[in-house]
Amino acid sequence: MFNRDAKVIQTDLMFLCAYLNKLISRKELLDALNRLLTVGGTTPERITFILENIGDEK
């Protein structure tokens, strides 16, 4: 279980870092997070946390 959680965090952070470094668009970030959520690669709580914290980014 610990290893799976570590992979989830790394995957979420990978997409978040790419967005913050302007390597992917906001739409691409949302698409990636949606796919992760669909396959069980992240949790709704993590998605909410990420969206709340990038909400002010333009």
- pLDDT for the residue numbered 23: 96
Q: How far is it, in rounded angstroms, from Cα 49 to Cα 23?
A: 21
Residue 58 has pLDDT above 70, yes or no: no
| DSSP secondary structure letter of residue 41 | S
| Every domain of the chain and the residues it spans | 2-54
Asked if 12 and 42 touch (Cβ cutoff 8 Å), the reply is yes
Alpha-carbon gap, residue 18 to 15, rounded angstroms:
5
Residue 3's pLDDT is 57
Q: Using one digit for the tens of pLDDT, what is the confidence trace for 1-56? A: 445 555 556 788 889 999 999 999 999 999 999 999 998 888 899 899 889 988 76
pLDDT at 7: 58
